[in-house]
Amino acid sequence: MFILLMLYGALFSAGQYQRTSDVRLRHNDDKRFIQSFLRRQLEQAVPLIAVDDGGTQVLFRGNERTLRFIGPLPSYRGDDGLYLQELSMADDELILSYHPLTRAPALFAENRLAGAERITLAQPVTRFELAYFGRHTADAAPLWRDAWDNPAWLPSLLRVDIALGQQDVWPLMLVALRAQAEWRPPQLALYLE
């Protein structure tokens, strides 16, 4: 009888271990997928210039909690072409909102993405912080900033810090923006009416 109890206990423990391992593996796979998706989207940011009566500006703005940029979507999420995208945290969700790029004068206005499609990338998010590394003027030394509003070019690097729950801290993600490998103004322009 004692041997049967020990056998049952061993089988029960092995089953519990298997279930716990499966949950951890799924969670790690979800993390890798989200980080890969974010990295791909951010690396493909396009240094598009908006030209209007007020001058020119690169369509890329960000602060610690929100980033707006222009870039393509994966083919399974939208048509070919460029999209206005916003990465932000709403309540406890990490959200990517996107809208096809159009020739609208208020392209980066706050209400521009009000009717946009949204993807919930992760939840429950307890921390989402962005930082930007780059030169703010051509002769300045590059440094980390909490916000990026430079009308001339994109930052060199983005730092993305995400945590899900109190115990689940993700590795710090550094993303190099490929569209601007050299220190020169971007080459694409969108002329606004």
Which regions of 53-170 does DSSP assign to beta strands (E)?
55-58, 60-62, 66-72, 82-90, 93-100, 117-122, 125-134, 143-145, 157-164, 168-169
More confident residue, 25 or 33: 33
Q: Is 159's pLDDT higher than 90? A: yes
pLDDT digits (tens, 9 = 90+) for 91-135: 899 999 998 887 554 556 666 677 788 999 988 889 999 999 998
Q: Which residue has the higher pLDDT, 181 or 101?
A: 101
For 54-101, the pLDDT digits (tens) are 777 788 899 999 999 999 988 776 677 888 899 999 889 999 999 888
Q: Could you read off the pLDDT of 7-17 as tens digits, one per residue?
A: 566 555 655 65
Beta bridge mates, 191: 51
The pLDDT of residue 94 is: 94
Q: What share of the chain is helix, strand, coil (3-state, %, to 5)?
A: 25, 40, 35
Q: pTM of the full predicted structure?
A: 0.78
- pLDDT score, position 182: 45
The predicted model gives 137-141 an average pLDDT of: 86
